[in-house]
Amino acid sequence: MKARVQEISVVDKLKYLHSILAYVLPVLKQIYSDQCFEIGVETRAYGPKMDIIRAKMNSDEQMCCDFCKVPVFDYHRHCPRCLYDLCLDCCRDIRRSQTNVVRGEYAESKGPVVETNKDSASDRARLEPSAASVNDKLFPEPIDANDIGIRSLFPTWRANNDGSITCGPHEAGGCGSSKLVLRRIFKINWIGKLVKSSQEMVNGCKAHDLENGCSSCHDSRRLDSIGRHNFGLSKCSDSDGIDGNSVYSSVLENLKYEGIVHFRKHWINGEPVIIRNAFEPSLSSSWDPLSIWRGIQEIMDEKMDENAIVKAVDCSNQSEVHIKLNQFIKGYSDGHKGEDGKLIMLKLKDWPPVSVLEEFLLCQRPEFIVNFPLVDFIHSKWGFLNLAAKLPPDALQSEVGLKLLIAYGRQQQPGKSDSVTNLMVKMGDVVHMLMHRAEMRYLCPKSLQPEQPERIANGMAVHVNAHAPVQNLNLDMGEQSPEHTVSKSCGPSAGSSAELSSSSHSEQAKTNGVERSQPGALWDVFRRQDVPMLNKYLASNWEELTNNSQAMLSVKHPIYDQAVYLREHHKRVLKDQYGIEPRTFEQHIGEAVFIPAGCPYQVKNLQSTVQLALDFLSPESLRESARMAQEIRCLPNHHDAKLKMLEVGKIALYAASSAVKEIQKITLDPKFNLDIRFEDQNLTRAVSENLARVTKQRKVSCG
């Protein structure tokens, strides 16, 4: 995988690196501005300082704010008495709650702060808050929708006249007596220098304008059903009165030929993308749960107990249940009945573990990873445009990486027991590739059958041919059928890479026949701009949507609660009364569905399915992810979305640092000097002089 990334041309690398810096720079500026403001407050309260104390933390440790519980990545306020830590956002909210504050008062800085630590004594650049630190944007604005409400919770917790803040009251976990002092985690001048370097490099290069969307797609307006064209816009649902209700789709071969440019023209606008024919449908037989279990057995030193208890989610009420692994695998094709004889729809949770899955893919299915759409850009470790991949290896980020999603499903299901993923929204981007699907052989009693099948948004009922072959469950490793035989060696199996690419139109025609007539999942994807209306609808109809009077976990942002699946009559109300409608489309074997950060979506499994999912964070989604971080911060501390929160600021810093180093390395390499130059020659010269100076300093220190 690493070698494949290295094959990207130098010119393309520079373009990608420049785009990373262009998208990351606004976030860096905001981080730096917030820090400059706090330095001004610190100077006003305590006088000029030669240093800001650095918190002692290991690289694999994570600090969280003791009030809002979100991760703290650098500057924060600390109580020297009770060790209470408060993030800068909470400091901002406390100051915002006061009505007697004069705008810009705290932003004055009476002196610089100079780094005196031994680890950077050779680089004593003075940290001076720039003129931007007294800008209106840096001073606390009036209370907005993302204010956490400290004033209403603790009316007596207020900022002092000089802007300093006393430790939180006992009810908030503090001591209520000592003043909070400013502390840091990174080197004191690192972010300021990073902003300067990024700004110079962004200004020194021309960026390609992607925000106007894809003219070729808009000109052709290819709105036929998915599968008739190799690429273009595909109509999702009946979109009378609603513009842009289409989705860009392409086959893997075209994507390899045209590169990522066309994809990014749609991605920058927050549009979902479908990549078809990622592998031959015939190869999906190696991805049924039984084959996966057998493959994992081959690579593990200790054999996995087939009676091991695993966690699953009951789709009827989203509760967590425990089930034996062999029972779940059997139910994948035969169905699983409860004590009352009703069919129970289950989704496997956290199996296999991430470490086991990665080893399984590397040893048993390497060809699928190599041919995964855009994997050289979005891979969790080596993806060139995956900002989360720039974090240190020991960084704690639970929502980034590969996952295997195994779920029961059935076309005609008794209403409440549908196999669904409730309406949800993620801070990062995600792609789901359908690896396997199987029709359940369980016959639902007539008394439990719905009166009519679920109807999709175009008014046509979905019909699925129930003739897919289903393998008998046999966990005995000695009785494998030929199609379930698993190689014991680590490496590509015969006929792997070539077979995974659908390179001919005849192969596509085959998938447009029987295979494409049997979708595995039904997707509804809303736009980012639909979220305010969606939240309004959810809040107004919460009791009806959840079938009980349970309180919303988030009054402001119920979309994060993931407690609702919108059915057809709900979507009609949204369209008629709120003017919003999701993109609705089916997913077939070998199709990868890319969902941008901030786009709410829900999924219904029309058959039992195995999805290979990959979380990542693209440069285009960073701004949206940062906006969502402010919303999630205001959720209750026990909210699941807060527990899975991405450290957007930390990701942005490491992504910028990596891009700056890589650009310097490329532009100053003699091998590329003849062909590659920044358009701003002064910038190229400045970068060269800077690198030469650093190299000279290293030689002096070493001597």
Question: What is the model's pLDDT at position 492?
Answer: 37
Q: Which residues contact 621 (CB under 8 A, 6 or more apart)?
A: 428, 429, 596, 597, 598
d(C-alpha 263, C-alpha 374), whole Å = 10
Outline which parts of the chain fall under CATH 2.60.120.650: 250-393+401-443+516-634
Question: What is the model's pLDDT at position 547?
Answer: 72
Question: What is the model's pLDDT at position 61?
Answer: 83
* φ and ψ of 403, to 5 deg: -140, 150
Buried b (16+ CB within 10 A) or exposed e, 32-57: bbbbbbbbbbbbbbeeebeebeebee
Question: What is the model's pLDDT at position 674?
Answer: 42
Q: Which residues contact 473 (CB under 8 A, 6 or more apart)?
A: 290, 326, 329, 330, 333, 334
Question: What is the model's pLDDT at position 681?
Answer: 52
Question: What is the model's pLDDT at position 485?
Answer: 37
d(C-alpha 410, C-alpha 432), whole Å = 19
- Range 250-393+401-443+516-634: architecture per CATH: Sandwich (2.60)
Question: What is the model's pLDDT at position 257?
Answer: 74
Query: Do the beta carbons of residue 580 and residue 229 sit within 8 Å?
Result: no
Is the overall model pTM greater than 0.95, yes or no?
A: no
DSSP state for residue 577 in the 8-state scheme: I
Tell the burial category of 167 from Cβ atoms under 10 Å away from its Cβ (0-12, 13-18, 19+): buried
Question: What is the model's pLDDT at position 191?
Answer: 96
Q: What angle do CA 294, 403, 586 make, to 5 degrees?
A: 100
d(C-alpha 54, C-alpha 188), whole Å = 8
Which helix or strand (DSSP H or E) is residue 24 part of? helix 10-46
> For residue range 490-544, what is the model confidence (pLDDT) as tens digits?
443 333 333 333 333 344 444 444 445 689 999 999 999 999 999 999 999 888 8
d(C-alpha 501, C-alpha 498), whole Å = 6
Cα radius of gyration rounded to whole Å, the chain: 27
| Low-confidence residues of the chain: pLDDT under 70 | 1-2, 99-145, 205-244, 396-399, 412-417, 442-517, 548-555, 671-703
Query: Do the beta carbons of residue 180 and residue 78 sit within 8 Å?
Result: yes
d(C-alpha 49, C-alpha 111), whole Å = 8
- Which residue in 642, 656, 650, 652 sits closest to 622, CA to CA? 652
What are the residues facing 323 on neighbouring strands?
Answer: 310
Question: What is the model's pLDDT at position 1?
Answer: 65
Query: Do the beta carbons of residue 8 and residue 379 sit within 8 Å?
Result: no
Question: What is the model's pLDDT at position 239?
Answer: 43
Query: Do the beta carbons of residue 22 and residue 671 sit within 8 Å?
Result: no
Question: What is the model's pLDDT at position 482?
Answer: 38
